[in-house]
């Protein structure tokens, strides 16, 4: 079998690691694949590159394929999600001015308590609070809305969420264009390094098992290339397993920092991988264990219920029929293809393809096909549970 080349796109972020590691560490080669990696400057461009066939696979914000299926956003071909590339990995930060105000009011920046941090943010930010996110269809926007709405801050447009490309986040904070942000690493840490702001909370404090980036392909491609998509799923599953090993962190950060990938200091990239953060320009240290997940807890499994949680938020905000949105979204996350690709690899595979989200308080054995699939904590900050069977 000769090597098949697959053009694949990513946006320069720490969570582009699975695609980059798959190529650099030989996991793609093990499946007789070569990934031609294309770095995209914006999510809209990467989505268009995928939709129009410039790349066949792409790292994508989990809500983008769901939004496309619901007819929201720019022109797109139908997209399918083959696997979840990363769980969590975003960070919420505030401007220096807002951080001082919150500190003066007694907030301690412990970097773990979503209720305390949210209340402090709402109190200090007032009704005019403006928060930057990388893209209108992103977990950043969904988690912020879920969190601040849950704490009584109203709903968008009352919550001023606006789009700021990650590399411009620090500048936007400094210039006063926004007061706070939610962004993928390393751009939160970069803002701290540049003295522009302080980190308030890891995204996982809002939902401890939120699908963040997914492996997206055109649905037509997935249907036409079952063999190739299977090989791709396996290569990325192995890359995720490698990334989850603490011994890999140093090397992974070095590879990502290369000029052709992120072109940023390895030390700053490694903070997200190790969960050890510098949260203020003054050097306050905080730990966020499990800040980003690539493998543990069947992280790669594209749960239909994850797509449905996203669809429900999108439907609410855009006035779509909720039941229809739930139905459409479920089939965007292809748990069937994922399961078929990994059946004989010893990978943890859960029995079901849908589950109540937010219902696992502590690590749990869910029972699976090959071995018990250990599920990691899966909690929303407010303890609510999303049951796709009961939701609409």
Partner 1 sequence: MVLRMPDALSIAVVEPDRERAFMIVEGLREAGDFDVQVISEPSGLARQIQMRDPDVVLIDIANPSRDVLEELTLASGPKDRPVAIFADRSEDGLSAAAVEAGVSAYVVDGLQPARLKPVLDAAIARFRLFQRMRTELAEAKRALEERKVIDRAKGMVMKARGISEDEAYALLRKAAMDQNKRVAEVAQALVTAAGLLA
Q: Which residues bind partner 1 (CB under 8 A)?
A: 41-45, 48-49, 51-54, 72-75, 134-136, 162-168, 171-172, 175, 177
Q: Name the residue nearer to partner 1 (CB basis): 249 or 317.
A: 317
Q: Name the residue nearer to partner 1 (CB basis): 45 or 359.
A: 45
Q: Name the residue nearer to partner 1 (CB basis): 5 or 108.
A: 5
* Cβ atoms of 317 and 342 closer than 8 Å: no
Instruction: Quote the least distance from Cβ 41 to partner 1, whole Å.
Output: 5
Q: Name the residue nearer to partner 1 (CB basis): 4 or 44.
A: 44
| Cβ-based neighbours of 68, under 8 Å, separated by 6 or more | 47, 76, 77, 78, 79
Instruction: Quote the least distance from Cβ 48 to partner 1, whole Å.
Output: 6
| Bridge partner list, 391 | none
- Strand-strand pairing, 160-163 and 130-133: parallel
Instruction: Quote the least distance from Cβ 268 to partner 1, whole Å.
Output: 19
Instruction: Quote the least distance from Cβ 357 to partner 1, whole Å.
Output: 26
Instruction: Quote the least distance from Cβ 315 to partner 1, whole Å.
Output: 15
244: left (phi over 0), alpha (psi -120 to 50) or beta: alpha
Question: Considering only CA atoms, which of 18, 187, 15 is closest in space to residue 91?
Answer: 187
Instruction: Quote the least distance from Cβ 57 to partner 1, whole Å.
Output: 15
Class of residue 285 by CB neighbours under 10 A (exposed 0-12, middle 13-18, buried 19+): exposed
Question: Considering only CA atoms, which of 103, 300, 107, 298 is closest in space to residue 213?
Answer: 300
Instruction: Quote the least distance from Cβ 11 to partner 1, whole Å.
Output: 9
- Rounded to whole angstroms, the Cα distance separating 324 from 333 reads 16
Q: Name the residue nearer to partner 1 (CB basis): 164 or 200.
A: 164
Q: Name the residue nearer to partner 1 (CB basis): 56 or 357.
A: 56
Instruction: Quote the least distance from Cβ 137 to partner 1, whole Å.
Output: 9
Instruction: Strands of 65-133 (E only): list them.
Output: 79-88, 90-95, 130-133
Q: Name the residue nearer to partner 1 (CB basis): 37 or 337.
A: 37
Q: Name the residue nearer to partner 1 (CB basis): 318 or 345.
A: 318
- In terms of C-beta distances under 8 Å and separation of at least 24 residues, what long-range contacts does 175-178 make, across chains too? 176/95, 177/130, 177/132, 178/95, 178/130, 178/131, 178/132
Instruction: Quote the least distance from Cβ 42 to partner 1, whole Å.
Output: 4
Cis peptide before 359 (omega within 30 of 0): no
Q: Name the residue nearer to partner 1 (CB basis): 51 or 347.
A: 51
- Rounded to whole angstroms, the Cα distance separating 239 from 132 reads 31
- In terms of C-beta distances under 8 Å and separation of at least 24 residues, what long-range contacts does 263-270 make, across chains too? 263/12, 264/12, 264/186, 264/190, 268/186, 268/189, 268/190, 268/193, 269/14, 269/185, 269/186
| Cβ-based neighbours of 301, under 8 Å, separated by 6 or more | 83, 84, 335, 338, 349, 350
């Amino acid at each position: 079998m000769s090597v098949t080349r697959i053009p694949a796109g990513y946006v320069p972020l720490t969570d582009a690691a699975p695609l980059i590691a798959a190529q650099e560490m030989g996991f793609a080669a093990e499946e007789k694949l070569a990934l031609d990696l294309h770095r995209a400057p914006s999510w809209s461009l990467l989505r268009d590159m995928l939709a129009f066939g410039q790349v066949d696979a792409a790292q994508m914000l989990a809500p983008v394929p769901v939004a496309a299926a619901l007819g929201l956003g720019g022109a797109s071909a139908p997209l399918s999600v083959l696997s979840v590339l990363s769980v969590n990995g975003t960070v919420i930060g505030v401007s220096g001015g807002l951080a001082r105000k919150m500190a003066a009011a007694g907030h301690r920046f412990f970097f773990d308590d979503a209720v305390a941090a949210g209340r402090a943010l709402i109190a200090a930010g007032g009704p005019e609070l403006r928060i930057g996110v990388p893209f209108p269809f992103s977990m950043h926007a969904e988690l912020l809305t879920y969190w601040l709405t849950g704490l009584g801050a109203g709903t968008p447009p009352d919550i001023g969420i606006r789009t700021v490309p990650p590399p411009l986040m620090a500048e936007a904070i400094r210039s006063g264009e926004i007061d706070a942000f939610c962004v993928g690493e390393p751009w939160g840490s970069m803002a701290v390094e540049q003295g522009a702001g302080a980190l308030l909370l890891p995204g996982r404090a809002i939902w401890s098992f939120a699908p963040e980036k997914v492996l997206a392909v055109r649905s037509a491609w997935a249907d036409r290339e079952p063999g190739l998509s299977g090989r791709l799923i396996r290569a990325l599953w192995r890359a995720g397993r490698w990334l989850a090993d603490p011994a890999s962190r140093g090397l992974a950060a070095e590879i990502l920092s290369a000029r052709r990938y992120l072109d940023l200091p390895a030390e700053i990239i490694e903070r997200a991988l190790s969960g050890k953060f510098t949260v203020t320009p003054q050097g306050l240290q905080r730990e966020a264990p499990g800040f980003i997940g690539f493998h543990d807890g069947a992280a790669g499994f594209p749960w239909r219920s994850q797509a449905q949680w996203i669809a429900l938020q999108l439907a609410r905000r855009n006035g779509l029929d909720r039941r229809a949105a739930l139905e459409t979204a479920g089939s965007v996350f292809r748990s069937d293809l994922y399961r078929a690709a990994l059946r004989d690899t010893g990978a943890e595979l859960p029995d079901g393809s849908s589950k109540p989200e937010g219902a696992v308080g502590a690590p749990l054995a869910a029972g699976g096909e090959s071995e018990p699939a250990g599920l990691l904590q899966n909690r929303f900050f407010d303890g609510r549970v999303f049951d796709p069977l009961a939701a609409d």
